[in-house]
Structure 1
Amino acid sequence: MATGHDHPLTELAAAGVSIWLDDLSRELLSGGRLEALVTGRGVVGITTNPTIFASALERGERYTRQLTRLAEVGASVEDTVFAITTDDVRDACRVLRPVYDRTDGVDGRVSLEVDPGLAHDTQATIDRARLLWAAVDEPNLLIKIPATTAGLDAITAVISEGISVNVTLIFSLDRYREVVDAYVTGLETAELNGHDLSGIHSVASFFVSRVDTEIDARLDGIGTDRALAAKGKAAIANARLAHEIHVLGLATQRWRRLAASGARPQRPLWASTGVKNPDYPDTMYVSELVIPGTVNTMPGPTLEAFADHGTVTALVLEEVYGPAQDVLNEIAQLGIDYREVTDELERQGVRKFVDSWDELADTVRGQLDRGLTEETSSKR
């Protein structure tokens, strides 16, 4: 395995890609493990989601004391989930604060998601974003809001209040254009509200591997040689075209005016970068998206795989946008409806996170009940 300062992760960072970890738990926070990833693997940010927290609670013993204490005071399941997740994210923000300071707020970020059950309720999303922002109370927090139709107005609203946002669950290019507009509109309102635009940050999380999973299944269903030859290409093409939208957005007069007032670009973030198909290289959603000024958030196994054998080849962007569009054109000619695919992926994404949130709540409920039982037994 490559070690020291010569491993591929160092090359990736040198190419202008911010390396974030898609994982968080108290095991990771304890004993300096997160600090080791920052110093030894170049990790400069953390993303979380309900699935990550559910997994952390199921396997972690470090939550027992807090759960027992919360059970003793009669805390609800909702309040317990809120306390656990905000405590973990606050601690991670503090670990990453030196990175935040060193990069003038660009990196050193930790993301915390609004309850996904609120994904189609604009006002409830806004209210929960405010609560999370106030509870963590760290400047390097990002509030994750899904890019649903209802989420777009919530994104604009919280940005206008000076709250930094990670826009999540983006699959389609049209929806990404709407996300860009929601961010810019929020900044324009924030400026009118007297906020310092330089302190507001955002990333737009464009999901990658799930696009291939969905489209590949449809290509397999078609089954022709032409269809099978198109497998494993759509996700990377989709992400590259998203980056073209980002570049074009930065060239508009609207953005240039905001930038002159101190506004920061909303960076594309490549999410869902763990490879689902074992026939594909396990680092493909990292090595094929080496684009300066972007973020790649990786689950632990992908991070370690890239450290071991990843390759870094910076893309010549003017040479990849056209071929990327050709890939999506080929998918369409094969009879696959891109819009239908991305709409389905958004529905699936929200549903999966709601299911994980419910799983997290069930885990907490069971541990709260156990804590109460153990407390009652100890008093006998």
Structure 2
Amino acid sequence: MSDRLKTLSEAGVSIWLDDLSRELTETGELQRLVDEDHVVGVTSNPTIFASAMKEGARYEPQLDEGLAADPQTTVADAIFELTTTDVRQAARILRPVYDATDGVDGRVSLEVDPTLAYDTDETIASARKLWDKVGEPNVFIKIPATQEGLPAIAATIGAGISVNVTLLFSLDRYRGVLDAYASGLEHAIADGVDISDVQSVASIFVSRIDSEVDKRLDAIGTEEALALKGKAGIANSRLAYAVYEEFSASDRWRALEAQGANRQRPLWASTGVKNPDYPDTLYVTELVGPNTVNTMPGATMRAFADHGEVEGDKLSGNAEQAEQLVRSLAEVGVDYDDVMVTLESEGVEKFESSWADLVRTVQDQLTAARGRRG
């Protein structure tokens, strides 16, 4: 058991693994991570699924014995069946955590088709279909926080389906996400849905912000600009936490909480360090705080278990310092609003590219399976 991960967990951080594969679920490795490394959740995405399917033969039985046998099976059908099977298996492994935490943790996240990011109605339909197919209560359906995604989040929550809001960068959009969550709960209450079972997290991306801001600071090139590198992602997350605290203290939220609503916790995503000049545990140590989630790639989790440090609550009470950092960025010529618009647009494009890679990968697997059948 990792004492460092235990300390992180005790500081109020739910440790989630940003990885999922049949290898993890069928070899017992995911169970080991739960038992020994305080892992209490799993997130997935098309890139993770594509990588797993390229590298492992554990998907062949499902392909050979079922999917490839039916000539009517499309690539979309195969993706749906393969990914929901992985999520169902992981959800069952994590079910004891879900039960022990009254549904707060023990969650596995599954993303809607990212090509629907700008289509509200189809996102709602996809979320319902995925939820029904997995058939486990400890699943989060991931919906991107585009403008079109906000009403889809509200509608999905309103139907009693737990949501992981993904692709979230700006504070204004985060406020919109909190409003969508509250609106969904209000509609659920009006429709007689038991909201005590509904949970949500808001996945605020971290390292991608630094990558974009650092690129702009390098282009500016002044001493003042270069001194600000590697600080924007953490500052933005700390400001987001202040927004979370402010909303949690609002009359609107208190009224919902009195009716059994659960807080939508901030989740720090994209926490693998992309710049090798920065400490490999930077986005864990600097974002410790109560009622938060940190979803880590395996390498980041192992690094923290080896040499990570918990230096106390780094979120509460740090908004003023973070606001000063944002002002300093503006003073040297970084347009923070434009950074956020760029990141969301590029984020959707990256999600769509990842989905296209998953489609190609499953197409190859399906073709190979049909070839094995002769």
Match of 1:160 in 2: 158
Structure 1 residues 52, 318: CA separation in 2 closer, same or farther (over 3 Å shift)? closer
Matches within 5 A, 1:223-238: 223-238=221-236
What does the per-residue CA deviation read over 1:313-353, in whole Å, with 9 as the maximum and x for residues that have no partner?
12264541110111111111111111111111111111111
Report the Cα offset of residue 371 of structure 1: 1.6
What does the per-residue CA deviation read over 1:214-237, in whole Å, with 9 as the maximum and x for residues that have no partner?
000000001111000000000000
What does the per-residue CA deviation read over 1:141-193, in whole Å, with 9 as the maximum and x for residues that have no partner?
00000000110000000100000000000000110000000000000000001
Matches within 5 A, 1:112-127: 112-127=110-125
Match of 1:362 in 2: 360
Confirm or deny: 8 A CA contact 2:15 2:41 kept in the other structure. yes
In the alignment, which of 60, 76, 88 is matched to residue 64 of structure 1? Answer: 60
CA distance in 2, matches of 1:215, 1:252: 32
1:27 and 2:23 matched: yes
In the alignment, which of 70, 73, 78 is matched to residue 70 of structure 2? Answer: 73
In the alignment, which of 50, 74, 77 is matched to residue 54 of structure 1? Answer: 50
1:53 partner SS: helix
In the alignment, which of 140, 146, 167 is matched to residue 142 of structure 1? Answer: 140
1:72 partner SS: coil
Unmatched 5+ stretches in structure 2: none
Confirm or deny: 8 A CA contact 2:142 2:166 kept in the other structure. yes
CA distance in 2, matches of 1:316, 1:130: 37
In the alignment, which of 149, 152, 174 is matched to residue 151 of structure 1? Answer: 149
- Which amino acid in 2 is paired with 1:43? V
1:265 partner SS: coil
2:28 partner SS: helix
**TM-score, with structure 1 as normaliser:** 0.97
CA distance in 2, matches of 1:20, 1:316: 19
- Which amino acid in 1 is paired with 2:211? T
1:331 and 2:329 matched: yes
Matches within 5 A, 1:177-188: 177-188=175-186
Match of 2:305 in 1: 307
Q: Which runs of 4+ in 1 moved over 3 A?
A: 316-319
Match of 2:216 in 1: 218
Report the Cα offset of residue 38 of structure 1: 0.4
Structure 1 residues 317, 375: CA separation in 2 closer, same or farther (over 3 Å shift)? closer
Match of 2:339 in 1: 341
CA distance in 1, matches of 2:141, 2:371: 35
- Which amino acid in 1 is paired with 2:69? E
In the alignment, which of 1, 4, 11 is matched to residue 8 of structure 1? Answer: 4
Q: Provide the alpha-carbon RMSD of the alignment.
A: 0.9
- Which amino acid in 2 is paired with 1:53? F
Report the Cα offset of residue 375 of structure 1: 1.4
Structure 1 residues 53, 172: CA separation in 2 closer, same or farther (over 3 Å shift)? same
CA distance in 1, matches of 2:159, 2:149: 15
Identity among equivalent positions (%) equals 59
CA distance in 2, matches of 1:360, 1:294: 30
Match of 1:268 in 2: 266
1:259 partner SS: helix
Confirm or deny: 8 A CA contact 2:18 2:297 kept in the other structure. yes
Structure 1 residues 221, 316: CA separation in 2 closer, same or farther (over 3 Å shift)? closer
1:166 partner SS: strand
Match of 2:196 in 1: 198
- Which amino acid in 2 is paired with 1:365? Q
Q: How many residue pairs get matched?
A: 372
Unmatched 5+ stretches in structure 1: none
1:322 and 2:320 matched: yes
CA distance in 1, matches of 2:315, 2:349: 34
CA distance in 2, matches of 1:276, 1:128: 32
Confirm or deny: 8 A CA contact 2:91 2:138 kept in the other structure. yes
